[in-house]
Structure 1
Amino acid sequence: MREIVLDTETTGLSPAGGDRVVEIGCVELINHVPTGRHHHIYINPERDMPEEAFRVHGLSEDFLRDKPKFSQLAQGFVDFIGNDTLIIHNAPFDMGFLNAELEWCGRARLANPVIDTVMLARTRHPGARVSLDALCKTYGIDNSRRTLHGALLDSEILAEVYLELIGGRQVALALSAEIEYGQRGGPARPPARQRPVPLPARLTARELASHAAFIAEMGDKAVWLNYGAVEDEPAELARA
């Protein structure tokens, strides 16, 4: 199962107002575990950089001036994400910008499934703050490198947060083990190991007799009589 954790940086808040994407960072997950593969690009927005946006991510007009335009980078980006699920914090923001950029260069909008970790966090922690920094604090994730917003760094941090939101590292490792087993030709979940010799009954004859006497006192209301023997129950107890 392949997922892509994705983040963008932009010149502002609204593509409808002329704002553009200036950075995209993507991190690949297989079975919820980062593989080490990533896709990271800086983009010439073909416009100025407002001071408010510069204070957020630190990407200046001078730095971005010689970078490729989105139209030159779109194919590599689309190829990397494929049709796989996108994991995005506040997905409507990033998806709005990416689809606008794709439309401006004559390409189709993204049709990938999307998981919005803001909505996921609100479900897991109702009433709590769900910013990326707040979730790092909740889960004890080190975000000390995040002095400024950066698309690739934020994607790497979000990958850790996402893993915690869906149940923690053990969930991912268990799923990885199951799928790896299936890829070797076995079923999706390894079969439970059976004991070569069944364990002996732990009930003594005295305990069995005491139990039978107890059931007799209950008459026809005893569940043992109504539902029959329980699977794997000692034969003596089932007959009682």
Structure 2
Amino acid sequence: MPDHEAQRAGLTLSHVKITRGARTLVDINDHVDPGETLTVMGPSGAGKSTLLSYIIGTLDPTFTARGRVLLNGTDITQLAPEQRHVGILFQDELLFPHLSVGENLAFGLRPTVRSRTERKRRIDAALTDIGLTGFADRDPETLSGGQKARVALMRMLLSEPKALLLDEPFSRLDAARRDQIRTLVFAQARSKGLPVLLVTHDHADADAAQGRVHVLNI
């Protein structure tokens, strides 16, 4: 491993190439600094979500991949998904319907946070951080789309990821909520110094990210 990659903070995609049969879907060699966002754009089927699967360690074996993923200088390419410390947000919030809002957030806490008092403190602080003070006992089904998106974001952040992947998480929100959630997500990522990789087909998402853009072509 080159010394500059082993010592570099952020998310490095080192000569990552993903193919299926004879077709190359992804060919990228780039680095995302802490607090920076790299947007990967392309139409459906171009390989955007495939790239995210490779980064988090869930790539379908029907694909062939080479290249390395490094996080803060550590090669995570061969690690199990739960060992990679990479957070991801999807189009759907994926909140647990049988758990309250507070219990959903508690699910994101690291196992090392064992004290009931400390867990409650972190959950209450997280709700305040996203403008949902007092929502701990609410049923997720009573929340609006924007509120669900905020809870999903904070649940992921409570797991203390070292990088954030965004799989078109704004696409199902109406225009007003989309702008609000975009602003919140990117502000949280910058404040926590997280490198962000956003995949989208929406140019407005790329503009809001205020970073470089890598285009995948079919």
TM range, smaller chain: under 0.3
Instruction: Name the larger-Rg structure.
Output: 1
- If the length of structure 1 is used for normalisation, what is the TM-score? 0.22
Tell which has more relative contact order, 1 or 2 (C-alpha 8 A, sep 6+): 2
- If the length of structure 2 is used for normalisation, what is the TM-score? 0.23
